[in-house]
Amino acid sequence: MDDSLGREQAVRLHQALERASIKHRRLWVRYLSLGGSADELEVGAYLHQCLELPTRERDLLSWAANTLLDRRYHPRVPSSADLLRPGSDRGVPERTA
């Protein structure tokens, strides 16, 4: 994955799902209900940084995850616009096993 913004979104999304114990399939089903077009295998590959997705699809995945996360315990997954905003934290967090 060459797109650094897409890679950063994928890392943050994957970490949020892991911390909240949300399965990839559950995310994918919610994403589809919001109008997403990538299949389940493509979403899994994106989450593992093996496939790039267009900005619209990445943002739909972030939106889907944010609807599943309990905001009291888990930080919001940023959209591409959030990451491009001046002063945003663009540092890619350490990936945990």
pLDDT at 29 over 50: yes
| pTM: predicted TM-score of the whole model, two decimal places | 0.80
* Average pLDDT taken over every residue of the chain: 86
Nearest CA to 59 out of 46, 43, 44, 78 is that of 78
8 Å CB contact between 62 and 77? yes
pLDDT at 93 over 80: no
Q: Which tens digits make up the pLDDT trace of 31-60?
A: 999 999 999 999 999 999 999 999 999 999
Q: Which residues contact 35 (CB under 8 A, 6 or more apart)?
A: 60
| Residue 89: predicted pLDDT | 56
